Structure 1
């Protein structure tokens, strides 16, 4: 038979196991902010402890009860409970439990802002942990030491404690302490203004809390995210996290902590670690004896007060949220105003940059076109003449390209105007193909050119923009085709009165374009893929310019393509059939009486030595007498002390500008013709030149026909 002593031991063991089980459940409920469940389990543990009469388990129960009171915000009761636990543990020499209690008391002291006491308790706990190698307490103590340093506004020291405690917490899978540690470390990083690191750390805390349903820590993580993103001036994200924090807080506050605290004191004796069944007070007896009407009145009054309290709380929270939202919106508005001002400054800087770079590009381009003209006049061989004509055409195209890059914004704003001059379309396309001939040979491609013979020889339109469209499209096919064929087809669609309707096709059997990229290939700075960009180069502007130019000419680009099989671009254009009723510069140049220019004295005002040389040679070739001034001041002096028949005036020069020099010359000579020979971009400011005394304007680089036509007009 089993002895009575054995039965007693078995009974005590069973009781102790049950108490420990209830305390474990209570701790788990506390971690998940389920305070009512925690209270229920502590109450059951307290009742069993009274039966077992075990001082060790009484202390353990008081420990968990202290944690409950801390969560409820009743720090006074929490301190009483943990003090009772510590007195028992010291008497029983229970170092493991004592270290845990000192750690809890240290945390309660932090909450009470009694930092000196907190440091004392936590250091004592840390000493016991080290002495007894209590690995499971090492991390929690370091965590609370970090929280203490954080509360004392020493975030660097806090991070050191957190980093020291993390390996042990991680190795023991202490997920609650791990989530709490990462949340507090993120706060420390935010205080050090390490905002991106703080976000990453807080995300770890959030992930652990979600997985283990630590609602209180989740709520604190949302609150922290709100503060971080507010610091980063990402106010919309900050507001979303603040709302999430408020939702969690509302959910947690549904557990009425005040009622639970009262219930805890009603069920538990916080004085001497015994479960006391409270006797009914005189008030309770009177309530039991009161009339049913009185009870109903009391219940209704409580319900009304509760509803009014909840309504007041809701209004208060809504007002707070509204005020915070208004503040965030104001900050966002300020941020947008600042961004607008920055964008306006950037736009002004871009305009200034484009104006400057255009002038700098036009000046050397003037040398290219001027020297080409001089070489063409030197009786070149047929071979050289072909190359020089190609160079001349390329110079004209480059000038057009410079103008179009400058006018990209104007293209999109429909501010670029289409010229309407006569030209030979077939010759224009031939010039394009000659200019691209070397690229065709380098890629070992074959060109197939089909031009409808029924198309009139002379058309009216914008030949430079037609060239630009064709060079971009044909150049595109050449670039993306190797050892292949390229077809250029121009077909007559119809002729109605003096209007001719043409269809253009540029087809290749190159790499082709995927269906996905066909939707975006005509956007600015877009190519088929990063690999294509690396392999073939380019800016991705060509097709965008083509699309915009065709749009200005009331047309649109069409694309048919298959990856690996090639592409076909096509578009339709309308032209007028040219009838030779008005003259252009080329025709006017043929009618020029060059004898009028012989021995005329010309003053060339130009600061660029190469441009001086080119202009001088062109003038002297026509038997004019040329003098040069390097700047505006020199020009004014020479015009005052010498007699000239014409002044060619540059605009941008060191010292005074060409406009200022012209104004000074007009003070003593009202009659001498002054022509602006300039690389300045001429937009809508032509009146400024005429108002300040110029007779005419020749933009650089110029066509020689235009140059001599305007000279003849001024000298006549």
Structure 2
């Protein structure tokens, strides 16, 4: 298809490929992709009829596989088109699709109306194919309503119409065969004429007029045959070009998928390779502070900790934007207090605020309930990025965090959040760019640091919340970021969420811990953290040594690194479970948790903690798992 620049041809080809994959090969995923490409080309050439026609095919395919939610948007487009442009060509199928949609929505009255309209118009317009499918889908509605008699009658009509269509197709094929016989007869007739011509030529050799007329007739016939040959060659060449273009599209699509996979693997590998030494840096800095209290005020050690955590935040930003682009993020439902979240943000960013001599002010509408339900972690991430940006670009000023309740519908509170500063501001030319990836503005004189991903992550996270963000700014006067977000407030659901939260059950009992880790720095840090909490700890370098020691000793918990030479953490855990050992296993890994969760569950790993981690989090999970094991026993 890349051989032509004609968007109309590209639209037709993609639409036909969609029909072939969806309705002949039943490969709906591939067919739907071709339909979407056809719609893009239809928009390029501003062909509303083709947009509607392709959306009709797309809706039918999505409904066939039960994807009514995605098909709903396409159905709205076709309905809107038909209202403006009455078109008998699509009305039967459109009514049938509306019937299918309302059948799915359990609005039986509307579904019944549209199916009957489709059948009535199908009979009127003699659209046998569309009419047969209308009877088939109507029978499904009747079966659901337990009107078995009418359902059977519609199925009979569907079968009869299909038989008629099949018979007509056979007749058409027979007619084509008849035409071929007539062509053979025509050839024989031409041969006979040629023979008679030779006889007449001999007999009328001296008659110039007849000879001239005969030459003219032959010339016209040759021109006609030449035209037929050229047209046939052109058609064959076009078909060959389309086949080549199709093969190139398949190859290009495969390469794109491979490229996306390589990108994901690269980001995962880089994040793992960075997190592993960062665990060592952060861990050693914490150990130094704990063992040498006199270093607590050391600017060098504090700078080391800040730099390590800053580098970790950059790694997390890159991983986060990659997960958002691959649609791997699902919002959680947790209960939280809005004012508490604002204060947490304020306290977390106090270092940046003091550095630039800024003040943070919080203003929360009293109408907002104390407890809300939503994904507080990603909401906090949005606030953290916006407030840290405001503090970074403001000197000797202030940053306001303002929350106002806009509307209340049933139990959903729409809350407007404003992050306002009186800093350097953003030029009007740059305001459209700031939400793009890796874009940084206002860095001509000072280095404000950062990857340029913060605001891009904010915009994409707010899109997951069904929200958008608006920026108002003037150079030298400051910036205001505004977005509106919906949170639920339901006391029953809040109590249910609170009751399901795992409580940190501490224990004074000394537990025995086995650490399986090949990195010597990480061994040292993990061992120190565990022994500092009065737990007994044994460290081994690889999975084989872990299997050997487990034959002779019993442990309360196993901390398992995943990326190890000789035998990785997954295989080690699988072999431990094969030996009948039920000791809880916690994966301590630098991999992103979502990437390894499925495989971890399959091999019997009980939980996952990503390095670097807080020791409180580690012991909370250790105590919880050990307690569960003791209760089961």
Q: What TM-score, normalized by structure 1, do the two folds share?
A: 0.49
Tell me the residue number matched to 2:4. 236
1:510 to 1:387, Cα distance in 2 relative to 1, 3 A = same
Q: 1:674 aligns with which of 585, 589, 594?
A: 585
Does residue 1:347 correspond to 2:260, yes or no?
Answer: yes
Deviation at 1:486, TM superposition (A): 4.4
Tell me the residue number matched to 2:600. 689
Structure 2 distance, partners of 1:322, 1:424, is: 70
Could you report, residue by residue, the CA deviation over 1:676-705 in whole angstroms, capped at 9, with x for unpaired residues? 333333337645434434344444333433
1:387 to 1:457, Cα distance in 2 relative to 1, 3 A = farther
Q: 1:510 aligns with which of 412, 420, 424?
A: 424
Tell me the residue number matched to 2:384. 471
In the alignment, is the contact (CA less than 8 A) between 2:289 and 2:296 conserved in 1? no
Deviation at 1:547, TM superposition (A): 1.8
Structure 2 distance, partners of 1:671, 1:351, is: 34
Could you report, residue by residue, the CA deviation over 1:327-373 in whole angstroms, capped at 9, with x for unpaired residues? 44333333322222221221221232233223223334444665576
Deviation at 1:625, TM superposition (A): 1.5
Structure 2 distance, partners of 1:388, 1:514, is: 41
Structure 1 distance, partners of 2:256, 2:520, is: 39
Structure 2 distance, partners of 1:395, 1:580, is: 38
Matches for 1:232-271 after TM superposition, within 5 Å: 235-236=3-4
SS in 2 for 1:347: helix
Tell me the residue number matched to 1:362. 275
Deviation at 1:617, TM superposition (A): 1.8
SS in 2 for 1:638: helix
SS in 2 for 1:573: strand
Does residue 1:542 correspond to 2:454, yes or no?
Answer: yes
Q: 1:701 aligns with which of 590, 602, 612?
A: 612
Deviation at 1:556, TM superposition (A): 1.9
Structure 2 distance, partners of 1:580, 1:388, is: 43
Tell me the residue number matched to 1:606. 517
In the alignment, is the contact (CA less than 8 A) between 1:522 and 1:543 conserved in 2? yes
1:307 to 1:544, Cα distance in 2 relative to 1, 3 A = farther
Structure 1 distance, partners of 2:282, 2:499, is: 20
Structure 1 distance, partners of 2:280, 2:338, is: 28
1:466 to 1:392, Cα distance in 2 relative to 1, 3 A = farther
Deviation at 1:653, TM superposition (A): 0.9
Deviation at 1:528, TM superposition (A): 6.5
In the alignment, is the contact (CA less than 8 A) between 2:345 and 2:384 conserved in 1? yes
1:388 to 1:528, Cα distance in 2 relative to 1, 3 A = closer
Does residue 1:626 correspond to 2:543, yes or no?
Answer: no
Structure 2 distance, partners of 1:561, 1:711, is: 49
Deviation at 1:543, TM superposition (A): 2.6
Structure 1 distance, partners of 2:463, 2:420, is: 21
In the alignment, is the contact (CA less than 8 A) between 2:357 and 2:396 conserved in 1? yes
Q: CA RMSD in A?
A: 4.8
Does residue 1:330 correspond to 2:243, yes or no?
Answer: yes
Tell me the residue number matched to 1:636. 547
List runs of 5+ in structure 1 lacking aligned partners: 1-232, 239-292
Deviation at 1:630, TM superposition (A): 1.4
Matches for 1:630-669 after TM superposition, within 5 Å: 630-668=541-579
In the alignment, is the contact (CA less than 8 A) between 1:414 and 1:552 conserved in 2? no
Could you report, residue by residue, the CA deviation over 1:68-96 in whole angstroms, capped at 9, with x for unpaired residues? xxxxxxxxxxxxxxxxxxxxxxxxxxxxx
1:300 to 1:503, Cα distance in 2 relative to 1, 3 A = same
In the alignment, is the contact (CA less than 8 A) between 1:632 and 1:661 conserved in 2? yes
List runs of 5+ in structure 2 lacking aligned partners: 7-206, 628-633
In the alignment, is the contact (CA less than 8 A) between 1:447 and 1:488 conserved in 2? no
In the alignment, is the contact (CA less than 8 A) between 1:525 and 1:541 conserved in 2? yes
Tell me the residue number matched to 2:483. 571
Deviation at 1:670, TM superposition (A): 2.4
1:571 to 1:368, Cα distance in 2 relative to 1, 3 A = farther
Deviation at 1:470, TM superposition (A): 2.0
Deviation at 1:586, TM superposition (A): 9.4
In the alignment, is the contact (CA less than 8 A) between 2:543 and 2:569 conserved in 1? yes
Deviation at 1:711, TM superposition (A): 1.5
Which entry has the higher C-alpha Rg, 1 or 2?
1
Structure 2 distance, partners of 1:393, 1:463, is: 24
Structure 1 distance, partners of 2:517, 2:289, is: 24
Could you report, residue by residue, the CA deviation over 1:279-316 in whole angstroms, capped at 9, with x for unpaired residues? xxxxxxxxxxxxxx998x99988877776665555545
Structure 2 distance, partners of 1:576, 1:396, is: 33
Tell me the residue number matched to 2:334. 421
Structure 2 distance, partners of 1:550, 1:311, is: 67
Structure 2 distance, partners of 1:378, 1:463, is: 35
Structure 2 distance, partners of 1:373, 1:460, is: 34
Could you report, residue by residue, the CA deviation over 1:573-630 in whole angstroms, capped at 9, with x for unpaired residues? 23355856766899823x42x312x2x3221111222322222222212211111111
SS in 2 for 1:507: strand
